């Protein structure tokens, strides 16, 4: 009698245990479901990370474009506003040619690049120098064809335009020399002069507005990286 009671008690406990197991969080079905949920969450997380990485790259590219385009826009704006006064850009000054005195080296509306000179050794016969003309204060770029010694014992330079038949009047003191010509950018000069026309001004403004609008739209698209996946 006692054995039958003990056996019944064991059976009842095993049934209770099985019932508890089937209803518990650690059941086989629950484990499978949890694993599926974790897998889905992992895939969603990977997708989310890819989207965030993509937007982060877009944002970095936008800032890079802004950093590159800003000095160029400022440079072009200054040159277009006053092309003959010269714009210094990282130690180089850009001028738009107004006369044909240096043809065929460079011509009207060409852009010449002038580098600052720090010593007389940088100026030799045959060097094209940019200087302030003493007679009228205008900026001129002509070629050195000789030199003279002034009353103070200092060397001054005789210049002449390549296209001219006679030398320039007077001599050029070293302190009046802006620099020496190191390059000619023909296309840039003609582009600058085109943008000084009404049609060019409208096109320049249109390009500027389009670039700024594109920057704003792209930046807003990539601004809040954390919003991806919400």
CA angle 136, 111, 80 (to 5 degrees): 85
Residue pLDDT, tens place only, 196-229: 888 888 888 888 788 777 777 766 665 554 444 4
SS3 115: strand
**pTM of structure:** 0.61
For residues 152-174, average pLDDT: 93
Between β-strands 87-89 and 111-115, what pairing exists: parallel, antiparallel or unpaired? Answer: unpaired
Please give the pLDDT value at position 192.
82
Q: Are 141 and 95 in contact (CB under 8 A)?
A: yes
Task: Read off the pLDDT of each residue in 167-188 and give the average, rounded to a whole number.
Answer: 92
Which pLDDT value is given to residue 230?
Answer: 47
Mean of pLDDT values over 155-160: 95
Select from 159, 12, 183 the least CA-distant residue to 105: 183
List of residues 6+ apart from 211 with CB closer than 8 A: 69, 73
Give the tens place of pLDDT for each residue, 106-136.
999 999 999 999 899 999 999 999 999 988 8
């Amino acid at each position: 009698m006692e054995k039958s009671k003990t056996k019944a008690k064991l059976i009842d406990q095993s049934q209770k245990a099985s019932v508890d197991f089937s209803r518990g969080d650690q059941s086989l079905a629950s484990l499978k479901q949890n694993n599926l949920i974790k897998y889905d969450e992992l895939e969603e997380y990977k997708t989310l990370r890819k989207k965030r990485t993509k937007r982060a790259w877009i944002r970095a590219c936008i800032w890079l474009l802004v950093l590159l385009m800003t000095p160029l826009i400022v440079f072009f704006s200054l040159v277009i506003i006053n092309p003959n006064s010269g714009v210094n850009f990282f130690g180089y000054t850009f001028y738009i040619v107004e006369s044909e005195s240096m043809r065929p080296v460079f011509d009207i509306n060409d852009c010449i690049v002038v580098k600052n000179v720090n010593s007389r050794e940088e100026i030799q016969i045959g060097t094209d120098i940019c200087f302030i003309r003493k007679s009228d204060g205008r900026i001129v770029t002509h070629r050195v064809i000789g030199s003279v010694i002034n009353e103070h014992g200092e060397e001054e330079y005789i210049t002449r335009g390549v296209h001219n038949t006679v030398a320039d009047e007077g001599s050029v003191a070293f302190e009046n020399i802006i620099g020496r010509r190191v390059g000619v950018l023909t296309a840039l000069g003609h582009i600058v002069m085109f943008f000084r026309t009404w049609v060019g001004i409208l096109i320049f403004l249109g390009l500027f507005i389009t670039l700024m609008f594109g920057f704003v739209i792209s930046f807003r698209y990539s601004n809040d990286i954390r919003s991806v996946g919400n």
